[in-house]
């Protein structure tokens, strides 16, 4: 580890490289900490609230979960026979996850309403710009595709949920 190596990977010096790595670790630690807090908050909300869930929404979310689980299974090297053999467990697991997801969304939506949290058009535009940068595509093209899929509502909902979770995290008393 020397300045030549540091320069080869885009750092000014070994010290600058060490500082950059330290910053990345600190960011990862903060993200991990926030994720743990978010999980505890959401777990508490789900545990403490009992509501009747619309079956058609739970069914649609279950289908989405099954599709994701099957895709992950194939990515992990499972064969079609393996997936078919575990289909019953997969559906049960997906249904449980779907119920939790739907319940969480209803709870977070209600909190957002009570707290007056909203999503501005500028926030939607920023999210589309970020998506375009990640995909390395022109923002107008990404926006057009999203509009054609009627996905602006989904993006708006994702932003609102993120803002609500952030609100809850900032309001939480951490012990």
- The predicted-structure confidence for 48-91, as pLDDT tens digits, reads as follows 788 889 999 999 999 988 888 888 888 888 888 877 888 888 88
Average pLDDT over residues 147-157: 90
pLDDT band at 38, cuts 50/70/90?
very high
Average pLDDT over residues 105-130: 94
Per-residue confidence (pLDDT) for residue 82, from 0 to 100: 79
Whether the CB-CB separation of 161 and 105 falls below 8 Å is answered with yes
Taking residue 101's Cβ as centre, other Cβ atoms within 10 Å add up to 17
Q: How far is Cα of residue 84 from the mean position of the Cα atoms in its chain?
A: 28
The enclosing H or E element of 134 equals helix 121-135
Crossing angle of the two packed helices 152-171 and 14-48, in degrees rounded to 10? 90
Whether residue 23 is predicted with pLDDT greater than 90 in this model: the reply is yes
Per-residue confidence (pLDDT) for residue 24, from 0 to 100: 95
Per-residue confidence (pLDDT) for residue 114, from 0 to 100: 96
């Amino acid at each position: 580890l020397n300045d030549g190596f540091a320069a080869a990977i885009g750092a000014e010096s070994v010290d600058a490289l060490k500082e950059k790595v330290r910053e990345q670790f600190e960011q990862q630690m903060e993200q991990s900490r926030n994720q743990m807090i978010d999980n505890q908050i959401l777990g508490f909300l789900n545990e403490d609230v009992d509501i009747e869930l619309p079956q058609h929404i739970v069914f649609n979310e279950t289908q989405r979960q099954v599709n994701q689980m099957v895709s992950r299974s194939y990515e992990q090297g499972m064969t079609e026979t393996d997936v078919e053999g575990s289909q019953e467990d997969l559906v049960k697991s997906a249904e449980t996850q779907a119920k939790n997801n739907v319940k969480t969304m209803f709870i977070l939506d209600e909190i957002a309403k009570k707290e007056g949290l909203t999503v501005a058009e500028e926030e939607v535009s920023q999210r589309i710009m970020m998506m375009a940068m990640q995909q390395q595509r022109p923002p107008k093209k990404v926006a057009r595709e999203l509009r054609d899929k009627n996905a602006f509502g989904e993006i708006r909902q994702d932003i609102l949920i993120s803002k609500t979770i952030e609100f809850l995290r900032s309001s939480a008393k951490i012990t």
